[in-house]
Copies of this chain bind each other. A is one copy, B any other.
Amino acid sequence: MVRFLDGTRSKMFILLPFLSTFLLVKSQGNSMNNVETERQAEESHRQDSANLLIFIMLLTLTILTIWLFKHRRFRFLHETGLAMIYGLLVGVILRFGVHVPQSTSDVVLSCAVNASPATLLVNVSGRFYEYTLKGEVSRAKGHQVQDDEMLRKVTFDPEVFFNILLPPIIFHAGYSLKRRHFFRNIGSILAYAFMGTVISCFVIGLIMYGFVSFMKVVGQLGGDFYFTDCLFFGAIVSATDPVTVLAIFNELKVDVDLYALLFGESVLNDAVAIVLSSSIVAYQPAGDNSHSFEAMAMLKSFGVFLGVFSGSFALGVATGVVTAFVTKFTKLRDFPLLETALFFLMSWSTFLLAEACGFTGVVAVLFCGITQAHYTYNNLSPESQDRTKQLFELLNFLAENFIFSYMGLTLFSFQSHVFNPLFIIGAFLAVFLGRAANIYPLSFLLNLGRRNKIGYNLQHVMMFAGLRGAMTFALSIRDTATYARQMMFSTTLLIVFFTVWVCGGGTMPMLSFMSIPVGVDSDQENTSATMLDGSQRRNTKHESAWPFRIWYNFDRNYLKPLLTHSGPPLTATLPSCCGPLARCLTSPQAYENEGQLHDDDDFILNDASVSSMYADVTVSTDASGSRTVNRKRSSTGAGLPDDGFDNELALSENEVAIRGTRLVLPMDDPLDAPTTVTLPPPPSPPKSDPRRHRL
């Protein structure tokens, strides 16, 4: 991950080398004996446990309330909003309710330290103790640091967000991406995510620069605020959040295209925002404090952007491909636990590998997730498919709720808030205008090329649903050393609160106001499509641009057979000169099902079902040597509800054994018990147990 250069702090090191410093030792200096030290260490450990316990309790409370809300079908406050409210409450209690007794005495010792290195070795009579830099303590407080030790303790290291909490969220986003709709709108999504974010970043940056200049004139600014800071602010608040959008739109079952556009944009958005913000920081040349605009540095930072983005992309895809290879060519699927563990470790190693190489781990993890879902997932045993899906779902849920409740907490526990009314007003205005400058012009341009136009009502909803969430928060808390960054952080927090509560809560009224149909099912859409005699199917194909069609054919003919067990075999698609290699790489299952596959393929091309665009035929070999074919996303797949996962992923929950018969199991309404061919038939299958539908 590209690390942020902290301008002011770095400058200080240049200006003040070899300054005499003070060591403020927090200890009861009077009777420093073993009992005291042990007691302190134990106390500190207990305190840590208690702090973590606060968060666990917060999450537990959130879960119970979410359940209550879902149970009562109360939809105006999303769970993330709820987590924030609980976090706020606990923050208030910690700030004003709890008073930690201060240490009795402080020993201030002076010695010469030239700077603040990452590691400190303290020599106490021949023994060396290692100390690691934890971070800077609020400068205004000086000697009263003990006051807010409790509050400082509940403030996590910001890197925790980037290294522990964000990766599972982003991986899950990639892994659960509805690839069918995503690929159908790939062009528009890329336009919004890349061009749109850059536009938004610059629009916000320019507006903020205007505001900041005005504030400087009026005398409302308490510190430095450069143009690069404005651009940085633009970059971090341009990232829209996939979490809330996913949850709300999935529950409401809105138009699939709208959903794909918003979700796809917000997922890629995050990646763009990370790389953009770090490029902007790198834009300022080392040792140069001018913060001015320079064409050369601009180009350089654009190069950094491209390099980091493509590097992370390549790494993520590479690990995904390696995992696909391993799961394809070993019989690991006989041991689901091993398989799941391997999948988890490989996905995690993507993050670490990217970080170790200096790329952005989170971006790599996103593309790794997409690759894993597209290839590796098909090689996994059904049990591992379940396991991996559920594991990342759980990790995502926990990490997400943790981040949001932590956000609420930070409003009161963070020590150096700078709330500047003018800046806040400016920021809200800028965020609104930046979003508008992203959506409306791009939609206009895209509509020129799109057959399936993005209507004005959809544009308004996209404008409105640009919530800011976890990524914006994580980017802004990462560095809060300077005045500018502190002001940014406080303002960002307010923007997140506002968008999650107001925009998130108002999405449903907004949808009905814009007369966008809610409760649309993809299978319903397909039913009407069937009546249109396949015309829509062809539309869909034409809709995608030619680069995508080339990619689709390449993927179907070469990549899928290479990385999964699906046909057509490579021996049929590759030129004959590559024969031996192709034979080596094609799995025996692909040969066997060649004929069958061609039938299947024809069926797909003639069928009106949009959902069968990416028909995957997975052939699984079991321990006894027999083979079973899971024909995925054929006409049966079309009957499945849109549950936020791609059908391929959803299949394991609504699995049907297709062997001569085709069953459609519509499960959207729990009260509408489907007639399944089970023996003995359950009188009324519960919603919470989809397995009972299985044959």
Contact = CB atoms under 8 A, between A and B. Distances in A.
A109 B49 CA distance: 35
Interface string A375-409: 00000011100110011011001100000000000
Contacts of A115: 25, 27, 32, 37, 124
Contacts of A35: 10, 286-287
A136 B145 contact: no
A260 to B, nearest CB: 23
A328 to B, nearest CB: 13
A355 B109 CA distance: 33
Interface string A332-357: 11111110111011101100110111
Contacts of A518: none
A358 interface: yes
Contacts of A134: 119, 129-132
A64 B337 contact: no
Contacts of A340: 390, 394
Given A120-B23, A121-B145, A122-B23, A382 B34 contact: no
Contacts of A24: 121-123, 128
Interface in A660-695: 660-661, 670-671, 673, 677-680, 682-692, 694-695
Interface string A520-549: 000000000000000000000000000000
A632 to B, nearest CB: 15
A34 B16 CA distance: 11
A137 interface: yes
Contacts of A358: 42, 46
A93 B116 CA distance: 33
A512 interface: no
Given A142-B128, A688-B334, A695-B678, A56 B25 contact: no
Given A113-B109, A349-B53, A33 B14 contact: yes
A59 B344 CA distance: 11
Interface stretch (A65-73, A296-304, A599-607): A65-73
Contacts of A57: 349
Given A42-B3, A623-B670, A145 B128 contact: yes
A651 B695 CA distance: 18
A509 interface: no
B692 A344 contact: no
A112 B113 contact: no
A430 to B, nearest CB: 29
A52 B353 CA distance: 9
Contacts of A592: none
Nearest to A686: B622
A338 B67 contact: yes
Given A29-B114, A42-B358, A624-B673, A331 B124 contact: no
A287 B33 contact: yes
A22 B127 CA distance: 10
A10 B34 CA distance: 4
A486 to B, nearest CB: 14
Nearest to A689: B382
A335 B70 contact: yes
Given A137-B130, A398-B344, A684-B624, A381 B337 contact: no
A1 interface: yes
A342 B64 contact: yes
Contacts of A448: none
Nearest to A20: B125
A135 interface: yes
A128 B136 contact: yes
A41 interface: yes
Main SS of chain A's interface residues?
mixed
B128 A120 contact: no
A25 B114 contact: yes
Contacts of A119: 26, 134
A63 B338 CA distance: 6
A120 B131 contact: yes
A657 interface: yes
A515 interface: no
Nearest to A3: B42
A19 interface: yes
B56 A32 contact: no
A109 to B, nearest CB: 5
B12 A45 contact: no
Interface in A602-652: 620-626, 628
A439 to B, nearest CB: 32
A680 B657 contact: yes
A553 interface: no
Contacts of A623: 670-671, 686-688
A226 to B, nearest CB: 15
Contacts of A117: 25-27, 37, 40
Contacts of A217: none
A20 to B, nearest CB: 9
A136 B130 contact: yes
A550 interface: no
Contacts of A671: 623-624
A110 interface: yes
Interface string A95-126: 00000000000010111111111111111111
A223 interface: no
A28 to B, nearest CB: 9
30 contacts: A6-B34, A13-B32, A13-B34, A14-B33, A16-B124, A16-B125, A23-B120, A24-B123, A27-B114, A32-B114, A44-B118, A46-B355, A52-B352, A56-B348, A59-B345, A63-B342, A64-B326, A67-B331, A67-B338, A70-B338, A71-B331, A109-B113, A334-B686, A382-B689, A383-B689, A386-B386, A623-B686, A624-B686, A624-B687, A657-B678
Q: Which 5 A-B pairs have the closest CB atoms?
A: A111-B111, A622-B686, A10-B34, A22-B123, A131-B131
Given A10-B37, A116-B129, 5 more contacts: A10-B35, A24-B121, A340-B394, A628-B686, A660-B680
